[in-house]
Every structure is written in C-alpha cells, then in structure tokens.
Structure 1
Amino acid sequence: MTAPGAVASATARGGALARARRGAAWLRWYLGELNGEHAYDRYVERARASGQRVLSRREFEHDRTDRRDSDPREGGCCC
C-alpha cells in the first residue's frame, strides 16, 4: 500500500503536467493565429459551406499574398 502523501504528490505532478500540456497547446494555437497559419483552414470551411471550389493551399497562399501586396493598408508597397 502506498502512503497518502505519495498519491497526492503523484496527483499534483499529473495536474502540473496537464496544465503544461494545455498551456503548450494554447501557445501553439496562438502562434498559428498570429502568423496566419489557420487562415487556410478557415477558408476551406467557408468555401465548403458555401459550395465554392476549394483552392489548393498553394493557390490560396499565392492569392492571399497578391491581395496583401496590392493593398497599401496591409503593408504592400504603393510605389
């Protein structure tokens, strides 16, 4: 039989590990949002829901870059 303190200690470590995993998953999601990595997934969901043709990832990124570069408010160059 294990001592009650040993069980509590193992439970605390398991809880800390679960919190660390949740924190890492949140950080991975947050960084994906910041760099626009999730934009394609959202686009595919909207395109399928509206019945439009879904562009490949390469086509989507090319179109997205062209749109961003053509708009000076998005950081594109006007000259």
Structure 2
Amino acid sequence: MTPSALTRAFRGVRWYLRELTDESAYERYVAHLREGHPEAEVPSRRAFERMRTDRREADPRQGFRCC
C-alpha cells in the first residue's frame, strides 16, 4: 500500500469511528448554528454535552437508558 492509500484508509476508519461514537456531534451542531443561526452564541463543548445529556434524560424516547 502506498502512503497516500494508507492515509485515506486511516481517515476513513477515523471518520467511521467518530460517527459511530457520535464524537462529531458537536462539530455538526456548531456548523448548524453558524449556518442557520449566525446570531446565536455557540456553546462550549462541555455545555453542549450537558445540554445533550439533559435532553436525553428528560425524554426517554431519545435513547437514554440506564439498564
């Protein structure tokens, strides 16, 4: 395999894992805010994760399960 093919393979695996674990959710949210709501303040990563967790805990249909 050439170095460029290895790089592409690594990037593909990295993208897949980030999507699988929802690691890229914050980046998608920031892009959404900047595109659709440019006047809105962008929350910090920590505030975003707290907001997301609170939303999941408040609505069991959002996929939050303890057991």
TM-score tier (shorter): 0.7 to 0.9
Residues 5-63 of structure 1 show CA distances to partners (whole Å, capped at 9, x for unaligned) of: xxxxxxxxxx5332222111100011001111111111111112212111111000000
Higher relative CO (Cα under 8 Å, sequence separation at least 6) belongs to 2
> Alignment length, in residue pairs?
63
Whole-angstrom distance in 1 between the partners of 2:46 and 2:64: 21
Whole-angstrom distance in 2 between the partners of 1:72 and 1:58: 22
> Unaligned 5+ residue runs, structure 1?
1-14
Report percent identity of matched pairs. Answer: 46
TM-score by length of 2: 0.78
TM-score by length of 1: 0.68
For 1:41, the equivalent position in structure 2 comes to 27
Larger relative helix fraction: 1
- RMSD, matched Cα: 1.6
